[in-house]
Amino acid sequence: MENQNENIARQWFDAFNSHNLDKLLSLYDDNAEHFSPKLKIHRPETNGFVSGKAALHNWWQDAFDRLPGLQYKVTSLTANGERVFMEYIRIVAGEGNMVVAEVLEINNGKIIASRVYHG
């Protein structure tokens, strides 16, 4: 199970870094929930939370449109049977690199929740 969840995380990075929304969303459960401090800043009405694939699509499409060079460089992945803890560097031209941690909660091979933490 750990290997399956680590594989999901690697697919997640591949999809995110290629800005392939269809591939990225295919990794998520239809009712997945996501929390991000960046959501709280750019869409304060959400209080940092979105739910469902349509909301995830809108959030990431907005991010990719605003930041066309956005990339994540993996520094660490730790998986168990229920989640993956990911550490990565957020790279955006013209901004300082940011250390990020994210937890993917996984059930039946789909991401059901994700939480982002900035360092």
Q: Which residues contact 91 (CB under 8 A, 6 or more apart)?
A: 69, 70, 71, 72, 73, 97
Q: Tell me how far apart the alpha carbons of residues 86 and 10 are, in angstroms, rounded to a whole number.
A: 10
* Residue ranges covered by each domain of the chain: 2-118
Q: What topology is assigned to 2-118 in CATH? A: Nuclear Transport Factor 2; Chain: A, (3.10.450)
Alpha carbon distances (Å) from 53 to 47, 57, 80, 93: 18, 6, 24, 28
The pair phi, psi for residue 93, each rounded to 5°, is -55, 135
pTM of the model: 0.94
Walk along the chain (119 residues) and give the pLDDT tens digit of each residue: 779 999 999 999 999 999 999 999 999 999 999 999 999 998 999 999 999 999 999 999 999 999 999 999 999 999 999 999 999 999 999 999 999 999 999 999 999 999 999 97
Q: What is the pLDDT of residue 63?
A: 92
- One-letter amino acid at 16 equals F
